Amino acid sequence: MEENKITKPNNTAVRTALWRALHIQVDDKPYIFEDEVGIRLIAPPDDWQQRPDMKFTKRIRASILARARYIEDLILEQSKDGISQYVILGAGLDTFAQRRPDIASKLQIYEIDQPDMLNWKQQRLIELGFGVPKYLHFVPVDFETSSWWEKLLNSGFDLNKPAVVACTGVTLYLTKEAIISTLNQIATFASGSTLALTFNLPIELVDEEDKPLIEMSIKGANASGTPMISFFAPNEIMVLAREAGFKDAKTISTKDMEQIYFKNRADNLIPASGEVFLLATT
């Protein structure tokens, strides 16, 4: 792995991992998604549940859980069908390889993220005794100066075999041009590959009850130097997928997720309305 100063992961990655841990501690069973590895990596202070972004964001937490569950169900299904490569663009604190070694060990997993992020994660995995198995490949990429595609190929990715590509919570921070470039590249993957990519809706298409929290999130992101810049309506997402050359594409909304994962819950855990999945195949 490249030599880089070891720093802590970014706030978005930490928040996402803590939301997943909080679910198990405060929400009712059945759990949507179970992940207690991420919080072990972070080792937050004892009062972490009192953070404002933990206490007042139940619907956003639910949407993060839905997105994680959807991706995991997809990779489990695809692995049964013989897919052997799994690419995670913007991997952050993804813990699939640690939580599901029974499935992960049958795949070649490529986690793509910033060098500092992956260096920190590798160090923590070693410290906690998880280690880094041979099937887990860290692909450090400075997205501003180098190509994730070239780095992926240099990490042993096989162009001739289909793959599942997951990318969640990333397009919001990319320019439209960068998103189009990414879609065009993934559309060249071997036939039978599947992409699951999240987009964020323009605020006028979001449910009224979610607008104040999303507006606060946008302001906070702008203030922290990581502005949210790209929002798409579902029809715009479909146009991008078709123009990139995917054979089949569809969008999966929060309402769809609600019907799949959140029916008949007593705790009123319902996902926020701001995110949409693109599921596309080559």
Q: Would you state the pLDDT for residue 6? A: 56
Angle value at C-alpha 212, between 210 and 260, nearest 5 degrees = 10
Q: Which domains does the chain have, with CATH numbers?
A: 11-281 (3.40.50.150)
Positive/negative CA dihedral, 189, 72, 68, 251: positive
State what percent of residues in the chain have pLDDT above 70: 98
- The answer to whether residue 4 scores a pLDDT higher than 70 is no
Tell me the pLDDT tens digit for each residue of 174-190. Answer: 999 999 999 999 999 99
Instruction: For residues 140-166, give the mean pLDDT.
Output: 93
Tell me the pLDDT tens digit for each residue of 95-123. Answer: 999 999 999 999 999 999 999 999 999 99
How do 85-89 and 164-167 pair as beta strands?
A: parallel
Q: Which of 119, 114, 62 is nearest to 91 (CA)?
A: 114
Q: Would you state the pLDDT for residue 109? A: 98
| CB distance 141 to 114 below 8 Å | yes
- Select the more confidently predicted residue: 213 or 241: 241
Q: Would you state the pLDDT for residue 3? A: 44
What pTM value is reported for the model?
0.94
